[in-house]
Amino acid sequence: MGSGDGLVAAPFRPLLMMLGWLAIAMGSAGVVVPLLPTVPFLLLAAFCFSRSSPRLQRWLFEHRVLGPYLHNFVSRKGLTRTQLQRCLLGKWLGMGIAILLVPLWSVKVLLLAIATGVSVYLMRLKRLPEPGGY
C-alpha cells in the first residue's frame, strides 16, 4: 500500500488505471450491448481509480452521463424516469437485435427472460425527481 492514503504502490498504479479505463469502455458498451453489464464495470473502474488516481475517481463520479448512475447506485437512491427510460430502451433495443440474430430458440427464450428480469428489477427501483424539477 501507499503512505496510508489508500493508494497502491507506485508500480501498480498504471496497471490499475488501465484496468479502470478498460472497465469504463466495457461499461459504456454495456449501455447498448445486451448481457454486458454497465454498473458493475463502472463500479470496478471507480475501485481501480480509488486505488490509483483520486483525480480519475473524482472525474468518473462527476462525469455528466456516468456519474449519476454511480451516485444513485452507490447510495441506493434509485433512478430518474429519464434514466429508467434510457436503460430500458437500450436494453430492449440490444436484446431485440440479439433475439432476432440468434438462431436457437432456447437462447432466444433465455435472452427474453433475462431482458424481462432486468426490466422488472429496474422498474421496481425508486423513482428520483428529474434534475431541474420537472
Q: Are residues 100 and 59 in the same domain?
A: no
Q: Are residues 110 and 95 in the same domain?
A: yes
Cβ neighbours of residue 86 closer than 8 Å, sequence gap 6 or more: 31
Which residue, 34, 57, 77, sits at the end of a domain?
77
Confidence category of residue 1, pLDDT binned at 50, 70, 90: very low
53 is in which domain, residue-wise? 1-77
Q: Are residues 96 and 65 in the same domain?
A: no
The amino acid present at 117, given as its one-letter code, is G
Residue range 63-88, pLDDT digits in tens:
988 887 788 777 767 778 887 887 78
Burial 104-119 (b: 16+ CB within 10 A, else e): eeeebeebeeebeebb
Q: What is the reported pTM?
A: 0.58
- Name the domain count of the chain: 2
| Type and span of the H or E element at 61 | helix 54-62
* pLDDT at residue 74, as a whole number: 76
Cell representation of residue 85: 427510460
Q: Are residues 57 and 108 in the same domain?
A: no
Which residue, 55, 77, 99, sits at the end of a domain?
77
134 has a pLDDT exceeding 60: no
